Structure 1
Amino acid sequence: LADFKQEVKIFRALILGELERGQNQYQALCFILRLSRNEIIPSESMARLRQKNPQAIRLAEERRGLEQLTMTTVANLSRAWQLSSHIRNMCSEAQEAIYTRDADVKYWLEKGVDGSIFEALPQTTEVSSFQACHATKDLWQPCLCMYSVRLEWYPCLLKYCRSRDATGKGSTYKCGIKSCSKGYNFTYYVPQKQLCLWNEET
């Protein structure tokens, strides 16, 4: 979800648990990042553009690379409304698994957001003492978990066309949307490998 007003983007993941291994039915994760200006085209800009064949399944025109993100901080669900009013609804099931990163926290603090929302994860000071979860054998050991998502289609740029009037004077106008695909790889601390079983080596 992109909150353009607050310049926040929210990724939510629901991962089915393995009941025979003592997990819950599913595990919820939320990743909160700063939304950069012009990163995604807002819906107001697209609303004026008529879409041909709206039922068609579309493929992204540009496949962008995988962004590596180290999530160093957890956000408190009950106070996170200061970042975006959507977090409470989107991340209510994630509870203590709402992650963000230092660079974005610094930006939000400079904008006047209350610092009590955030709590640093152990990895920020002790990163060398934790292994990746896929390399950790003990299910109850803390480790660094990885979770990847890919946005297969999102509007990333407006297209402009040129036209000429009767006098030959040229002008440009919005005539379409460029679509992109992009991957995100989140790395974050978990207190036990049991919370990151999808990272096991196969």
Structure 2
Amino acid sequence: MSSKAFIRVFIFLTFCCSTLLCQLVVNVKNKGDEVIVESIHANTTSDTVTLEYLNTDGTLVTLFIDFKSEAQLFKVIMPGEEELGDTQPQTICFITRFSHSDFISSDAMSKLRQKNPTAIRTPEEEKAPGTYTHDLRVDLVKSHVISPHIYNVCQDAVDSIHFTESDLRTISRSLSKDYATMMSAMEKHEPTKYARCMDTQEIDRPCLCRFDLCIGWYPCGLKYCRGKDTVGKVVSYRCGIKTCKRCLTFFHVVDTKRGCLWDV
């Protein structure tokens, strides 16, 4: 077995083991009509939700939402490109501000029950694509100033944890955090100074990398119905969830084109 195949099998087995403990398993088709299996788990104690799936190319994607810190972490683990002499998996973390209206609460998520784990789910709404241009690189050791969960989720990314200054400002105001303290954990970049990696010929030259991912199915809101209570009064009650799909594009600066070999 090649090292690339071994890494893919290892990631797949790790993913399958984690799904045994997950709360919800969802099957959803991607644009190529391939079935992607998502696992979703809610932790009401820490007020977090984790969504994870293994892409058909062997890439493992984890979405971790920290409701208290208003931050969501996208962790991506990609198998190495053996044909290009890169046999080690690569891990990247993208951090964005989280809006509570984008996902149901961890408490509501914890109350969902699996009805038919083999069914193919179709989202009710496809959200407009989102684009983030990351101009900050986060120091893993100081990452707790954003969220206490970044260290555990992104520790394998080390020098590839990316954030945006605009989201940093918004979170600092919303949670009354000291902006200067938060900025002290960041390394500033100017994405406009760099050429796209796809247009860069020198393999050791820094460039602006693009990465795309899609969350094919997730609970994006609650549904409410109207009815009458025992005395005939009209009341509103929760009667289901609304599901969505969203695709995102992340731009970030890499030290060399070697860190962005997929952007061609």
Name the TM-score, length of structure 2 as normaliser: 0.69
RMSD: 1.9
1:90–1:46: structure 2 CA closer, same or farther, 3 Å change rule?
closer
RCO higher in 1 or 2 (8 Å CA, sep ≥ 6)?
A: 1
CA displacement at 1:20 relative to structure 2:
4.5
Range with bigger deviation, 54-63 or 87-96: 54-63
Correspondence for 1:98 among 152, 161, 184: 161
Correspondence for 1:164 among 217, 225, 228: 228
Range with bigger deviation, 180-189 or 39-48: 39-48
CA displacement at 1:55 relative to structure 2:
5.1
Asked if the contact 1:146–1:185 (Cα under 8 Å) also holds between the matched residues in 2, the reply is: yes
Asked if the contact 2:70–2:171 (Cα under 8 Å) also holds between the matched residues in 1, the reply is: no
AA matched with 1:87: I
Match of 2:32 in 1: none
Q: Show CA shifts across 1:119-144 (max 9, x none).
A: 11142xxx1x4211111111112211
CA displacement at 1:103 relative to structure 2:
0.7
Quick check: 1:173 aligned with 2:252? no
1:172–1:52: structure 2 CA closer, same or farther, 3 Å change rule?
farther
Match of 1:116 in 2: 184
Match of 2:198 in 1: 134
Q: How many residues align?
A: 196
AA matched with 2:166: A
1:44–1:193: structure 2 CA closer, same or farther, 3 Å change rule?
same
Range with bigger deviation, 56-65 or 27-36: 56-65
1:81–1:117: structure 2 CA closer, same or farther, 3 Å change rule?
same
Match of 1:199 in 2: 263
- The within-5 A match list for 1:23-172 is 23-48=86-111, 52-53=115-116, 56-110=119-173, 111-112=177-178, 114=181, 115-123=183-191, 127=192, 129-172=193-236
Give unmatched runs, 5+ long, in structure 1: none
CA displacement at 1:45 relative to structure 2:
1.9
% identical equivalent positions: 37
1:46–1:191: structure 2 CA closer, same or farther, 3 Å change rule?
closer
Measured in 1, the distance between the counterparts of 2:171 and 2:100 equals: 15
Asked if the contact 1:62–1:181 (Cα under 8 Å) also holds between the matched residues in 2, the reply is: yes
Give unmatched runs, 5+ long, in structure 2: 1-63
AA matched with 1:105: L
1:14–1:51: structure 2 CA closer, same or farther, 3 Å change rule?
closer
Name the TM-score, length of structure 1 as normaliser: 0.89
1:172–1:189: structure 2 CA closer, same or farther, 3 Å change rule?
same
Runs of 4+ in 1 over 6 A off after TM superposition: none
Measured in 2, the distance between the counterparts of 1:53 and 1:21 equals: 42
